[in-house]
Each structure stands twice: as C-alpha cells, then as structure tokens.
C-alpha cells in the first residue's frame, strides 16, 4: 500500500534535547512538507521541499531543521532552540509543490511532548 509513515506516534523528550521525527513516503511524490498543529490553530508550515537536496523555510522554521537526501525521506529535527516544541507534527507530500489542485496526503502524525 502506498502512503506516508511517521514514527514514532508519541515522543517524549526532556527540555534542551534535540529530537528527530521521521517521515517516509512511497507515493513517488516530489514535494514534502512539515506542519505543526496546535489546539485552536490552523496547520502551520515549518519547512517544505520541492525536490531532493532542496528545501525552503515555511512560516515558523525557527528552531527546526530538515534534510532531503532521498526522495522518500524528509526528517525533521526539533532543536533546543525551539521555544515551545510540544505539539502535534504532521508530515505531508504532494505530486509536485506548485500545482493547482495539488492535494496533499498526510502521515498519521507524531505527538511530541517536551517535559
């Protein structure tokens, strides 16, 4: 089955530690995205990648970093510089980044709690 996987489902970390969230897709999509979802707010874009070895900052990139070494993989690192990292993180992909009607497919999400 084609889809997007994220691991782990739940993640707990101590304050000050960096943590990396995994995102893998086998849909052969060029574009991948990371969003953050907080209660009462819309999804906010952290980073996106249109193609391998290229990525762009979204609206709230501070305190986060990404890499896109393979088409299938787009890991997100939440660094200690992120002031309020506790949130639900969603990874998504689409066939291409800039296309009308280009729906995004989402992974199941990772709920990160920083203690």
Partner 1 sequence: GQNIDQPTEMTATEGAIVQINCTYQTSGFNGLFWYQQHAGEAPTFLSYNVLDGLEEKGRFSSFLSRSKGYSYLLLKELQMKDSASYLCAVMDSNYQLIWGAGTKLIIKP
| 28 vs 44: CA distance, rounded Å | 24
Q: Which of 32, 74, 107, 112 binds partner 1 (CB under 8 A)?
A: 107
- Only one residue has tokens 């992974």, namely 107
Q: Which of 21, 32, 87, 97 binds partner 1 (CB under 8 A)?
A: 97
Binding flag, residue 8, partner 1 (CB under 8 A): no
Helices (H) then strands (E): counts for the chain = 0, 11
Nearer CB in complex with partner 1: 82/104: 104
User: Strands (DSSP E) along 38-80, which ranges?
Assistant: 44-51, 54-57, 64-66, 76-78
- From the list 18-26, 65-73, 76-84, 91-99, the region that binds partner 1 by CB under 8 A is 91-99
Q: Which of 1, 14, 42, 115 binds partner 1 (CB under 8 A)?
A: 42
48: number of Cβ within 10 Å: 24
Binding flag, residue 115, partner 1 (CB under 8 A): no
Nearer CB in complex with partner 1: 8/108: 108
10: number of Cβ within 10 Å: 9
| Min separation Cβ 98 and partner 1, Å | 4
The answer to whether 34 touches 89, Cβ cutoff 8 Å, is yes
The residues that touch partner 1, with contacts defined as CB under 8 A, are 4, 40-45, 58, 88, 90, 97-109, 111
């Amino acid at each position: 089955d084609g889809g997007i996987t994220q691991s782990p489902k739940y993640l707990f970390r101590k304050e000050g530690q960096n943590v990396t969230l995994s995102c893998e897709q086998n849909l052969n999509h060029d574009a991948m995205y990371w969003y953050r979802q907080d209660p009462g707010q819309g999804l906010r874009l952290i980073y996106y990648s249109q193609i391998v070895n290229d990525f762009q900052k979204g609206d709230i990139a501070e305190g986060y970093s990404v890499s896109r070494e393979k088409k299938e993989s787009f890991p997100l690192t939440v660094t200690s510089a992120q002031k309020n990292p506790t949130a639900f993180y969603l990874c998504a992909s689409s066939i291409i980044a800039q296309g009308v009607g280009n729906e995004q497919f989402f992974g199941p999400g990772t709920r990160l709690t920083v203690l």
